[in-house]
Amino acid sequence: MKIYPLKPYLRSDLWGGERLFAYGKDGAAVREAGRISESWELSFTKGGEATLADGTPLPEAFGKEAFGARAARFPFFPVLTKFIDAKKNLSVQVHPSDEYALTNEGQFGKCEMWYILEATEGAGLYLGFERETSEEEVRAAALDGTVESLLHFQPVKSGEVYFIPPGTVHAIGAGVLLFEIQQNSTLTYRLYDYKRKDKDGNERPLHLEKGLLVTSFSPYKPQSVAGDDPALIGACPYFETKLYKLNFTNPIKINVKDSFIGLTCVRGEGFVDDQKIKRGESVFIPAESGEITLTGEMEILAVSV
């Protein structure tokens, strides 16, 4: 069996922090910036591809046969996973559904889930609205800078899971470090971005009117995962995510058959068969690879279809 360690694509957006350096993330650009906002781990996304250890971008290294039978219905690799470190609030944003995005943008929409890794005291997420609201009210609040007052603020702590369906207005708050598993799409409508400017003095573009067309104006409803597998923490048509907590006395065996698996260690260290893995590292295992064994003292997220 072949287990492929991954080298992530790193970003240094203005809102990013320094905590991902402690997760082994580094590179000339982010070191010069002094911050890392995102580390794209399992990424076949054009312009943000992760690579193999020898520098080969994932889309060049693997064909669709590596994705597995369960991913055959997709015209693209269906998943993108990433670490996100929010030293400052992210923009208030919303993602459209596939139906809207395919009709109006010529690409797919986006659903996502978050696994909280670290949170400073009082840190949290903005998730949906505190009460029923309207397009007119949200538009006015976005324009005058008070939109956060309409949103539900959810304090968070390590180990919590949040699922963000299309249409949910949301923002990751300052002080949160999380792991995101998302549909492989970069389609985001920003409603508000604090009038922040980049190094050239330019504000990022907003997409208020488009965003309002796809927004759910109702309060956020948490979603739970029903099923017999206690490791399963999130699922949608584009991905499923399992969390394995290991100590040296409980090895876990996984049969990699009709779907690829992307593994990311988020705490501790251990082995995937004989491949060592530690906090912040990710590996890709193609479909039909057979049985693998996880051992060590670690928490590891397993993403597949």
Helix (H, G, I), strand (E, B) or coil at 299: strand
For the chain, give the longest Cα–Cα distance: 58
Q: What is the pLDDT of residue 110?
A: 96
Is 19 a residue whose pLDDT tops 80? yes
SS3 for 139?
helix
- DSSP structural state of residue 102: H
Backbone angles phi and psi of 11, in degrees to 5: -120, 155
Q: Which of 214, 218, 235 is nearest to 102 (CA)?
A: 214
For 52, list phi and psi in degrees, rounded to 5. -80, 175
pLDDT in tens, 99-154: 999 999 988 999 999 999 999 999 999 999 999 999 999 999 999 999 999 999 99
> What's the pLDDT tens digit per position in 187-217?
999 999 998 887 788 888 999 999 999 999 9
What are the structural domains, with CATH classification, of the chain?
4-214 (2.60.120.10), 232-304 (2.60.120.10)
In contact, 137 and 111? CB cutoff 8 Å? no
